[in-house]
Amino acid sequence: MASTYGKFFRVTTWGESHGPALGAVLDGCPAGIEVDEALIQHDLDRRRVGQSKVTSPRNERDNVQILSGVFEGRTTGAPISLITYNADADSTKYDSIRDLYRPGHADYTYTAKWGHRDHRGGGRSSARETWGRVATSSIARALLKQAGIDVYAFTKQIGTIVAERFERDAIEQNLVRCCDPEAAERMVAAIDQIKIEKDSLGGIVEVRAEGVPPGLGEPIADKLDAMIGQAMLSIPATKGVEIGEGFKSAPMRGSQHNDDLYVDESGRVRTRTNHAGGMVGGISNGETIVARVAIKPTSSVSRIQETVDIYGNPREILVEGRHDPCVVPRAVPVVEAMMLLVLADLYLINRMSRVAWEAPNA
Amino acid sequence: MASTYGKFFRVTTWGESHGPALGAVLDGCPAGIEVDEALIQHDLDRRRVGQSKVTSPRNERDNVQILSGVFEGRTTGAPISLITYNADADSTKYDSIRDLYRPGHADYTYTAKWGHRDHRGGGRSSARETWGRVATSSIARALLKQAGIDVYAFTKQIGTIVAERFERDAIEQNLVRCCDPEAAERMVAAIDQIKIEKDSLGGIVEVRAEGVPPGLGEPIADKLDAMIGQAMLSIPATKGVEIGEGFKSAPMRGSQHNDDLYVDESGRVRTRTNHAGGMVGGISNGETIVARVAIKPTSSVSRIQETVDIYGNPREILVEGRHDPCVVPRAVPVVEAMMLLVLADLYLINRMSRVAWEAPNA
Amino acid sequence: MASTYGKFFRVTTWGESHGPALGAVLDGCPAGIEVDEALIQHDLDRRRVGQSKVTSPRNERDNVQILSGVFEGRTTGAPISLITYNADADSTKYDSIRDLYRPGHADYTYTAKWGHRDHRGGGRSSARETWGRVATSSIARALLKQAGIDVYAFTKQIGTIVAERFERDAIEQNLVRCCDPEAAERMVAAIDQIKIEKDSLGGIVEVRAEGVPPGLGEPIADKLDAMIGQAMLSIPATKGVEIGEGFKSAPMRGSQHNDDLYVDESGRVRTRTNHAGGMVGGISNGETIVARVAIKPTSSVSRIQETVDIYGNPREILVEGRHDPCVVPRAVPVVEAMMLLVLADLYLINRMSRVAWEAPNA
Amino acid sequence: MASTYGKFFRVTTWGESHGPALGAVLDGCPAGIEVDEALIQHDLDRRRVGQSKVTSPRNERDNVQILSGVFEGRTTGAPISLITYNADADSTKYDSIRDLYRPGHADYTYTAKWGHRDHRGGGRSSARETWGRVATSSIARALLKQAGIDVYAFTKQIGTIVAERFERDAIEQNLVRCCDPEAAERMVAAIDQIKIEKDSLGGIVEVRAEGVPPGLGEPIADKLDAMIGQAMLSIPATKGVEIGEGFKSAPMRGSQHNDDLYVDESGRVRTRTNHAGGMVGGISNGETIVARVAIKPTSSVSRIQETVDIYGNPREILVEGRHDPCVVPRAVPVVEAMMLLVLADLYLINRMSRVAWEAPNA
């Protein structure tokens, strides 16, 4: 079950960073959803390496091919197989660390678990695996769009620089995908500087979903919050996830944190505030869903580090290869993708909640 | 799939706060695990209401009965059914809010989803549901103990008071289950005061697992971090979860955050620091697992709040009933329980990782 | 996953033949389904022992209690927990076989798998486990009734006596639940005789579902036929399952077996014949679903048999206790129950097949 | 969940008969299993069209490419992606039936379910889908071989001709994969004749597994028999499955059907006979597993048949295209594949049955 997300709208990814190809199979997608290869590619281009000076210089076009499940521009109900072939995988750069474990990487844990060492570019633990998540999330987006749901993510923090303004239109206008154009400039400068210092930066990504109807999420284990928790912490390099006020709710009082209810002019039940981040009791309440994800600084730093080799000897390591000095800008579309996959799954499952009993306020 | 945790070691809970009984079925437990009803009851007593002045005065003995799956003191491989009957459910206290939605509670979202209103004590969204999680986690604890794994949780923060020392022995010696006895005293005082103010407090619970061998966790979707994320955010009132440095990793540099590797005297691969919180690439690395969970302040506050009724009219509400002014002390055994369930599941699944290929450093 | 049926409408059973109680938890049932405890009991009474001279004389009232998931007579969307307490379990009758494996029973295989021997009445492998399947199937029946689906089963064959006529009204009018009243009389006589001979009989149960709309069943693995295959072969004592012509289709020609299509007066696409048994390509086609299940003769026969004990010594065994000389009449409601569970699950899942693409002949 | 088999050793297939490619992803395979592309191809060649005069003349080489999950000749624990590109898909042959439903095919049911018509060669319901099952089953075979398990299938019956002798070596020596060389000759002649008559034949395939240790299979829902039932009835054109004596057990007496137990010279518990087909109570007992599968005659017959078009008009249809006059010989490797997938899954799951409790006869 390792490589499959979702209970009903299910995505299985496969492929290694330096293998011949990467892909994903989406099973459980309803028939009739319009699929536009160009839109999938657009989402993939936001994720790919080599897109700007703040990302890894590895050059992968990441071209998507649809191999099944789409006929005459629409999903058929059959599994949708998407594939891309690796073009610029240069494994020779990894020869020098063939028998070394890189600190901060999954080298040791993969070897400890599976009993062997695939030294080429992180293999399955590489962020390249997220290609399939983003590719299939495009189809989730098309499904959710029909339901009026709009999902977007952006950079909230890089290093110690925090966005202070929110301009949605600004997000895709700067290299770091920050909602605050002024902070974005400082973030780009900070990344330029950290490259010079042969070090790396982390940050925080925020994701929002607007137009989500009340009712999404399945108590108890498959709460909306719980599914977001799993999805976000399945992204490489993430170390935390929070909903609404998140960790800031700990020092609040109940009278501050509770969101009072009212009925708006259209007759919908709404909340005056949105401390809860769009969900109560694990179920969406119709307000904007808000989550934030902590991203650790990239593990690959071009400095001498202490480590051990696969034979158990102490060694020093200098990690070469091509890396992102800060993975946050490329994490934005991945965080967005995971929210899309979570919501598509829960949206479909929610269609089975009721058969006949009318709501008292329906 | 709403009410089932786990992929293989699976717990299904059932029962409402004010129904006749609550229970859980554990399927997938190996045969041969010793089960001691007294140990289960011990864990349940840590969770139950009415245990001290800082918890709700509702009085439930929460006695566990084992109905199946155990023979002559050991698990048989069959599903283990555990039950407790509700004794002190007084639904009349909820009559006045029969047609009102309580702010911060799941009243509106449950009605929006399922189309009806069960007004009695929160029904399924009540924290009473966690009885079955704690009861079954005792069996997970027995399983993990065989593998040398030790899991414990404690209060890290209540309101604005943060634990500054760590004394494991202190945890169960104070009413708030804090690892810092001096902070614990101030936390108890803060709860006393907030009760007078008819308000409530939140906080942070930390959970640790020691002795976890390397290899637990399944990439990609079922990473150890991801499973912890789902488990913790499935607990009522949680708003965030973080691993290791968590959100504090965002402003760190890679050279600071990376944990250097070395080989200890026993020949084991270890890390000098544990910023990662015991896992890399979604797989345990043999260091102590460290996670923290943010708990919002209790939603039930005995103050007038703005709300709407089930007919869509604006109303005021004063929530009566018996509540915890701060749920953090009772959340400690629940957070611990979820970590036990996560680890038991991943421990079993990890037994299928390898057949024959020997590790290069085995 | 051992004890859970279904992908979405999921039933988990628990309990041993001679334990304190038996039960089932149904999760994934939509809200709003009317639940009538008397109707559940009616279905259970058809399954229970001691109902007539052709069944085991063990006396269990099998009273159902609903412990959760139902409020004011309707399902709430929460897990539905059903329980019955064992009343007439007399384990002393099994003391003489405490260390013997009964031929034809699961005694040896359970011990080989789990590493211990629970000698009391078959433990978990007893047909008593089917109590929970029948109990929850009543709720599936209520769900399917809303969709116009009607499921019923009957005895087609006992020993060498085969039903030749079909009268639906006759089924519940005779002790063996046969659709042919004349054959039924001979079947009852055959069972009377086999009891005298201290032997047992097998037979065949047929199950039909009328009113099933086209579209149920998920290719590839979760085809309607495949789900029926799993469900029926999960019933104790079953040795085969077939759909439509079943094994009789092997010697047929394609031109004979194909069901020609036509449009009936109401505009529905129909087939002239129903060799396929109501499904093509794993998906229901709107015709009556027809399946048959082979039931082996009861393993408990009161004769001396050759066996071994748990220490590996050759032994003779004479199985005492109370048994059905022919389990077919009591298998009828269980086969019916499994078809109900399969169809409820696939009915719900089918609601997610389409979003927008209109059928060309819609 | 439609296109995924297995609970732990899980195979997801994708691709349409006339799409660009077909494939499968195997997730949950342990690390360290030797993978030989030539052996996979060998299994695939037994399944492919155009292999002899008794199969469809469509010419597909069915070359397998391994895209992930294998490194230096062994599985790594990562998902294994296998692909083949369609070469000889000629959809123009289907243009004449673009708006007609073929009797016996899934044309109508797919349209009824998904709301559209993909007329090209059966799309997803084509037997070409089984490519991925056979490809991945080769890896299951390698896994099971390590455990001493040997699985093989053969033709038992074609039309009215039944194999009377069993010679294992004969199976792959004749065009119809029959265990009886003399019957095989008559079967080939019968297929030659039915082609002339523009009709088709069905038959029965038997599958056996030798060397299966006791303990495989999970009661209750995931019994070995139940998993075989699902797997076999998920194969296109199957209409029945039976275990051991199967439907022949119905007229037997308990004293005939029970398999007496004894201890063989090596100390293993064995049965004198094997009426049960290698499993009791849903768990393997160490004897040879025996199952039979009924295959209906091919639906494509080159005769005028009555049908309707997608607009609901009565029509006549003459199905062109390239078909197998009898699919049984090519079903043999598919039945074998499904048994391999079932056993690999249950073999792994069984590793989690016990932790410590020693068997009384261990």
| In contact, D12 and D2? CB cutoff 8 Å | no
pLDDT > 90? residue D303: no
Q: Which residues on adjacent β-strands are paired with residue D290?
A: D208
- Which subunits have 3 or more CB–CB pairs within 8 Å of chain D? A, B, C
Sequence-ordered alpha helix ranges (H) in chain A: 37-47, 107-114, 131-146, 181-196, 224-233, 254-257, 328-350
Consecutive H or E run containing B274: none
* For chain A, percent of residues with pLDDT exceeding 70: 96
Rounded to the nearest angstrom, the minimum Cα separation between A114 and chain B is: 6
| C356 interface with A at CB cutoff 8 Å | yes
Domains of chain C: 4-350 (3.60.150.10)
pLDDT > 60? residue B63: yes
Report the SS3 class of residue C13: strand
- Would you place residue A358 in the very low, low, confident or very high pLDDT band (cuts 50, 70, 90)? very low
In angstroms, the CA B140 to CA C333 distance is: 37
pLDDT in tens, B188-230: 999 999 999 999 999 999 999 999 999 999 999 999 999 999 9
From B351, B353, B356, residue closest to D352, measured CB to CB: B351
Structure tokens at B84: 């407790």
Residue C321 has a pLDDT of: 65
| C112 interface with B at CB cutoff 8 Å | no
Q: Report CB contact under 8 Å: D295, C125.
A: no
Q: Report CB contact under 8 Å: A352, C28.
A: yes
Consecutive H or E run containing A356: none
Contacts of A204 (CB under 8 A, 6+ apart): A155, A156, A157, A292, A293, A294, A295, A328, B247, B250
Q: Report CB contact under 8 Å: C258, D301.
A: yes
> Which is higher by pLDDT, C95 or C169?
C169
Neighbours of D57 (CB within 10 A): 11
Q: Report CB contact under 8 Å: D310, C361.
A: yes
Q: How many CA atoms lie within 13 A of C311 on its CB side?
A: 5
Rounded to the nearest angstrom, the minimum Cα separation between A300 and chain D is: 23
| A225 interface with B at CB cutoff 8 Å | yes
Rounded to the nearest angstrom, the minimum Cα separation between C175 and chain D is: 19
Rounded to the nearest angstrom, the minimum Cα separation between D3 and chain C is: 5
- Average confidence (pLDDT) over D218-233: 97
- Would you place residue A359 in the very low, low, confident or very high pLDDT band (cuts 50, 70, 90)? very low
Look over chain C and give the mean of its residue pLDDT values, rounded to a whole number.
Answer: 92
From A2, A15, A79, residue closest to D67, measured CB to CB: A15
| B221 interface with D at CB cutoff 8 Å | no
- Would you place residue D324 in the very low, low, confident or very high pLDDT band (cuts 50, 70, 90)? confident
| Structure-token match 């973080």, residue found | B242
Q: Report CB contact under 8 Å: D352, B30.
A: yes
pLDDT > 60? residue B20: yes
Rounded to the nearest angstrom, the minimum Cα separation between C352 and chain D is: 10
- Would you place residue A362 in the very low, low, confident or very high pLDDT band (cuts 50, 70, 90)? very low
Q: Report CB contact under 8 Å: A78, D20.
A: no
C78 contacts on A by Cβ (under 8 Å)? 219
In angstroms, the CA D300 to CA C255 distance is: 9
Asked if omega into C220 is within 30° of 0 (cis), the reply is yes
Contacts of C189 (CB under 8 A, 6+ apart): none
Residue A131 has a pLDDT of: 96
Cβ contacts from C onto D, under 8 A: 420
Residue B359 has a pLDDT of: 43
Q: Report CB contact under 8 Å: A118, D67.
A: no
Report the SS3 class of residue B122: coil
In angstroms, the CA D38 to CA C27 distance is: 46
- Would you place residue C1 in the very low, low, confident or very high pLDDT band (cuts 50, 70, 90)? low
D 231-260: CB under 8 A from B = none
In angstroms, the CA A33 to CA B116 distance is: 32
In angstroms, the CA C132 to CA B235 distance is: 29
| C71 interface with D at CB cutoff 8 Å | no
pLDDT > 60? residue A205: yes
Q: Report CB contact under 8 Å: D143, B355.
A: yes
pLDDT in tens, A160-194: 999 999 999 999 999 999 999 999 999 999 999 99
- Average confidence (pLDDT) over D242-253: 98
> Which is higher by pLDDT, B338 or D58?
B338
- Would you place residue D120 in the very low, low, confident or very high pLDDT band (cuts 50, 70, 90)? confident
pLDDT in tens, B149-164: 999 999 999 999 999 9
Q: Report CB contact under 8 Å: B233, A226.
A: yes
Residue A95 has a pLDDT of: 81
B16 contacts on C by Cβ (under 8 Å)? 68, 78
Structure tokens at A223: 């709460």
From A14, A65, A67, residue closest to D69, measured CB to CB: A14
pLDDT > 60? residue D359: no
Residue C356 has a pLDDT of: 53
C114 contacts on B by Cβ (under 8 Å)? 31-32, 76-77
Residue D189 has a pLDDT of: 97
A143 contacts on C by Cβ (under 8 Å)? 355
Q: Report CB contact under 8 Å: A239, B277.
A: yes
B271 contacts on A by Cβ (under 8 Å)? 103
* For chain B, percent of residues with pLDDT exceeding 70: 96
Residue type, C101: Y
From A108, A251, A261, residue closest to B160, measured CB to CB: A251
From B19, B27, B76, residue closest to C12, measured CB to CB: B27
Q: Report CB contact under 8 Å: D307, C260.
A: yes
- Average confidence (pLDDT) over A219-227: 96
Q: Report CB contact under 8 Å: A113, B241.
A: no
pLDDT > 60? residue A56: yes
- Would you place residue B1 in the very low, low, confident or very high pLDDT band (cuts 50, 70, 90)? low
Consecutive H or E run containing B229: helix B224-233
Candidates C297, C295, C293; CA nearest to C325 is C297
Residue C58 has a pLDDT of: 74
Q: Report CB contact under 8 Å: C146, A74.
A: no
Query: Could you report the predicted ipTM of this complex, rounded to two decimals?
Result: 0.96
A298 contacts on B by Cβ (under 8 Å)? 254
Q: Report CB contact under 8 Å: C355, A31.
A: yes
Q: Report CB contact under 8 Å: C253, D201.
A: yes
Residue D129 has a pLDDT of: 95
pLDDT in tens, C226-283: 999 999 999 999 999 999 999 999 999 999 999 999 999 999 999 999 999 999 999 9
pLDDT > 90? residue C4: yes
Structure tokens at C272: 């002239």
Following DSSP, what letter does each residue of D216-282 receive, concatenated?
Answer: -SBTTTB-HHHHHHHHHHTSTTEEEEEETTGGGGTTSBHHHHS--EEE-TTS-EEES--TT-SEETT
B 136-175: CB under 8 A from D = 143, 146
A80 contacts on D by Cβ (under 8 Å)? 14
pLDDT in tens, C10-40: 999 999 998 999 999 999 999 999 999 999 9
| D68 interface with B at CB cutoff 8 Å | no
Q: Tell me the backbone φ, ψ of residue C35, rounded to 5 degrees.
A: -120, 120
Q: Report CB contact under 8 Å: C297, D114.
A: no
- Would you place residue D20 in the very low, low, confident or very high pLDDT band (cuts 50, 70, 90)? very high
| A23 interface with D at CB cutoff 8 Å | yes
Give the global pTM.
Answer: 0.96
